[in-house]
Structure 1
Amino acid sequence: MSALETLILGIVQGLTEFLPVSSSGHLELVKAIFGSDYEQQQGLLVTITLHAATAFSTIFVFRKDIFMILSDLLRFKRGESLNFSLKIILSMIPAVIIGLIFEDFIASLFVGKIALVGVMLMITALLLFLADQVNENNKELNYSNTFYIGVIQAIAILPGISRSGATIALAVLLKIDRNKAARFSFLMVIPLILGSMAKSLMDGDLSQDSTALLPLLVGFVSAFITGVFACRWMVALVKKSQLKYFSFYCFALGALAILFSV
Structure 2
Amino acid sequence: MSVLEAIIMGILQGLTEFLPVSSSGHLEIANYLFGIEAESNLQFTMAVHAATVLSTITVFFRQIVELFKGLFRFRMNEETRYVINLLISMIPIAVVGFFFKDAIEGLFTSNLVLVGIMLLVTACLLTFAGLAKPRTGTITPKNAFIIGLAQALAVLPGLSRSGTTISTGLLLGVQRSEVSKFSFLMVLVPIIGMNLLELIGAPTGGEGIGTWQLVGGFAAAYLTGTLACRWMIRIVNRGKLTWFAVYCVAVGLLSIGFGIFH
TM-score interval, normalised by the smaller of the two chains: over 0.9
Contact 2:169–2:179 (CA under 8 A) maintained in structure 1: yes
Q: How many residues align?
A: 260
Aligned to 2:39: 40
Alignment of 1:51-200 (within 5 A): 51-109=49-107, 111=109, 113-200=111-198
What amino acid sits opposite 1:38 in the alignment? E
1:219 to 217, 220, 228: 217
Query: How far apart are the structure 2 equivalents of 1:30 and 1:214?
Result: 19
Query: How far apart are the structure 1 equivalents of 2:180 and 2:140?
Result: 15
- Return the offset for 1:212: 3.8
Q: How big is the alpha-carbon RMSD for the aligned residues of Structure 1 and Structure 2? A: 1.8
Deviations 1:214-259 (A, max 9, x none): 3322322221111100000011110111111110011111122233
Query: How far apart are the structure 2 equivalents of 1:167 and 1:257?
Result: 23
Query: How far apart are the structure 2 equivalents of 1:80 and 1:208?
Result: 49
Query: How far apart are the structure 1 equivalents of 2:30 and 2:55?
Result: 25
- Return the offset for 1:110: 6.0
Query: How far apart are the structure 1 equivalents of 2:110 and 2:45?
Result: 21
Change (3 A) 1:111 1:220: closer
- Return the offset for 1:186: 0.1
- Return the offset for 1:2: 4.1
Change (3 A) 1:209 1:61: farther
Contact 2:44–2:214 (CA under 8 A) maintained in structure 1: yes
Aligned to 1:5: 5
Contact 1:45–1:206 (CA under 8 A) maintained in structure 2: no
Change (3 A) 1:59 1:112: closer
Query: How far apart are the structure 2 equivalents of 1:72 and 1:209?
Result: 45
Query: How far apart are the structure 1 equivalents of 2:27 and 2:198?
Result: 18
SS at match of 2:138: coil
TM-score in terms of structure 1 length = 0.92
Aligned to 1:250: 248
What amino acid sits opposite 1:39 in the alignment? A
Contact 1:25–1:159 (CA under 8 A) maintained in structure 2: yes
In structure 2, runs of 5+ residues without a counterpart are none
In structure 1, runs of 5+ residues without a counterpart are none
Change (3 A) 1:16 1:112: closer
Aligned to 2:30: 30
What is the identity percentage for the equivalent residue pairs of Structure 1 and Structure 2?
Answer: 42
TM-score in terms of structure 2 length = 0.92
